[in-house]
Amino acid sequence: QVQLVESGGGLVQAGGSLRLSCAASGRTFSSYAMGWFRRAPGKEREFVAGIDWSGTSKYYTDSIKGRFTISRDNAKNTVYLQMNSLKPEDTAVYYCAADLWGVGAAGSSFGSWGQGTQVTVSS
> Quick one: pLDDT at residue 78?
98
Q: 3-class SS at 65?
A: coil
Residue 123, burial from CB neighbour count under 10 angstroms (0-12, 13-18, 19+): exposed
Calculated CA dihedral for residues 24, 34, 107, 55, nearest 10 degrees: -170
pLDDT for 22 beyond 90: yes
> Quick one: pLDDT at residue 1?
87
pLDDT tens sequence across 37-48: 999 999 999 999
> Quick one: pLDDT at residue 111?
86
pLDDT tens sequence across 54-67: 999 999 999 999 99
**Ordered DSSP codes for 35-60:** EEEEE-TTS--EEEEEE-TTS--EEE
> Quick one: pLDDT at residue 114?
94
The alpha-carbon radius of gyration of the chain (Å, integer) is: 13
25: confidence class by pLDDT, cuts 50, 70, 90: very high
Q: Which of 103, 62, 98, 96 is nearest to 80 (CA)?
A: 96
